[in-house]
Amino acid sequence: MPEGDSVHRAAKRVREALAGRTLERAELRVPRFAAVDLRGRTVETARSRGKHLFVVVGPDALGRDPVTLHIHLKMEGRIHVHPAGQRWRFPGHTARLVLAADGTEVVGTELGLLRALDPAEAERAVEHLGPDLLGADWDPEASVAEVLRRISRRPVRTIGEALLDQRNLAGIGTVYRAELCFLRGLDPRDPVETVADLRAVVVLARRLLVANADRAVRVTTGDTRRGRRLWVYGRDGMPCRRCGARVETFRLGGLADPDEPSDSLDRIAYRCPSCQPRRATLARPSSEENT
């Protein structure tokens, strides 16, 4: 499941493969944009904003306007970069985007979203997003303050939902949500208003994403060995690494970005019942109370 750090890396790989190069092959395998022909144009750059990926393609020889490809990987999307002509290691029918230049091919498979926009439309497509945790424009004061302002607008919402809401801050998915809440000792169902140090949550989010931005494996424990990299995510029923209690899971929404998947499968929340005691102050049916 791609989170901000993996999209950031995908943008970097696309940039290294294609920036400054002229497209020899360019296929958008989605009905609405199948007729878009970008061959002969030069790729200017690729960049990420939260979990959105943009490939910026310059004007053509006739001076026709630049085109920005807007991509969202959603659940299963992947970006492959390999030498052009190399046999694909994925089923051909999953390819949605094929770009090639100078002997390198970039293929996007199972993309949740692919569209060709003019640059201004591309900007508008992400203007609802909160500050990008991996943005070059992240400011330790102003960006944090902006995130806090946005999250605090809905004080009775759960912190787990607030962290997934890309309008608050961009880049967190279910993995970082789980790890952040564990590291801060928060039950993801705690209302925002009960979180004692919300600023620390935001600062830690930025730190975790930056730490993982340029490495192939995602680590929050400091231990890069296989099976030891995360505190609670993916560890349902297993003993907490800190206290030994059984890690539990439940569903907790967070849908807010219209480009995000609407099913709940990826909305699993994790929690160690001992390290993350519940502070809920909202009235809930007693059957849901388990602390």
Position 232 contacts Zn ion (CB under 5 A): no
User: Looking at the annotation, which residues are catalytic?
Assistant: 2-3, 51, 267
Q: Which is nearer to Zn ion, 97 or 269 (CB)?
A: 269
Binding mask 32-71 for Zn ion (x = CB under 5 A): ----------------------------------------
Bridge partner residues of 99 (DSSP) = 26, 106
Q: Which is nearer to Zn ion, 95 or 245 (CB)?
A: 245
- Are the C-beta atoms of 236 and 249 separated by less than 8 Å? yes
> Which residue in the block uniquely carries the two structure tokens 């609670």?
232
Question: CB neighbours of 262 closer than 8 A, spacing ≥ 6?
Answer: 255
Considering the complex, what minimum distance in angstroms separates the CB of residue 133 from Zn ion? 26
- Helix, coil or strand: residue 43: strand
Bridge partner residues of 271 (DSSP) = 248
Length of the chain measured in residues: 291
> Burial level of 164, CB count in 10 A (0-12/13-18/19+)?
buried
Position 124 contacts Zn ion (CB under 5 A): no
Q: Which is nearer to Zn ion, 122 or 240 (CB)?
A: 240
Considering the complex, what minimum distance in angstroms separates the CB of residue 181 from Zn ion? 12
Binding mask 241-260 for Zn ion (x = CB under 5 A): -xx-x---------------
Considering the complex, what minimum distance in angstroms separates the CB of residue 196 from Zn ion? 19
CA–CA dist 159, 201 (Å, integer):
10
Considering the complex, what minimum distance in angstroms separates the CB of residue 235 from Zn ion? 11
Helix 198-212 / helix 142-151 crossing angle, nearest 10 deg = 120
Position 133 contacts Zn ion (CB under 5 A): no
> Burial level of 111, CB count in 10 A (0-12/13-18/19+)?
buried
Considering the complex, what minimum distance in angstroms separates the CB of residue 242 from Zn ion? 4
From 125, 169, 240, 252, residue interacting with Zn ion (rule: CB under 5 A): 240
Helix 174-183 / helix 198-212 crossing angle, nearest 10 deg = 130
Q: Which is nearer to Zn ion, 96 or 229 (CB)?
A: 229
> Which residue in the block uniquely carries the two structure tokens 């607030």?
162
Contact window for Zn ion (CB under 5 A) among 49-57, 109-117, 268-276, 279-287: 268-276
Q: Which is nearer to Zn ion, 243 or 282 (CB)?
A: 243
What are the residues binding Zn ion (CB under 5 A)?
240, 242-243, 245, 272, 274-275
